[in-house]
Amino acid sequence: MIEAAGRAQHRLTPWLKPSPTVRSKRTDLWFKCEQFQSTGSFKIRGALNKIASMREAGDSVAEVITASSGNH
């Protein structure tokens, strides 16, 4: 699992802005601030990683259709 996350990070780094982690002042929680992505959300990570991994495998990706019912 960690290896797959590392591969995804390598694939996505050229395309995504760094997003900071911020610690809560009230509790021991950390937040990953994905709202700083150009899309304003984290959703780009999964779709972009899938497309990039398909291209790495030699699959042709000409068109992509996605569906979303809002936030997860």
In a domain, 6, yes or no: yes
pLDDT digits (tens, 9 = 90+) for 7-33: 998 999 898 888 889 999 999 999 988
Q: Partners of 32 in the beta sheet?
A: 21
Q: Partners of 11 in the beta sheet?
A: none
Does the annotation mark 32 as catalytic? no
In a domain, 71, yes or no: no
In a domain, 11, yes or no: yes
Instruction: State how far the Cα of 21 lies from the Cα of 34, in Å rounded to an integer.
Output: 9
In a domain, 40, yes or no: yes
In a domain, 66, yes or no: no
pLDDT digits (tens, 9 = 90+) for 37-68: 877 777 788 888 999 999 999 998 888 887 77
Domain that holds residue 17: 2-23+30-56
In a domain, 67, yes or no: no
In a domain, 36, yes or no: yes
In a domain, 44, yes or no: yes
- Choosing from 19, 43, 50, 53, which is the catalytic residue? 43
Does the annotation mark 25 as catalytic? no
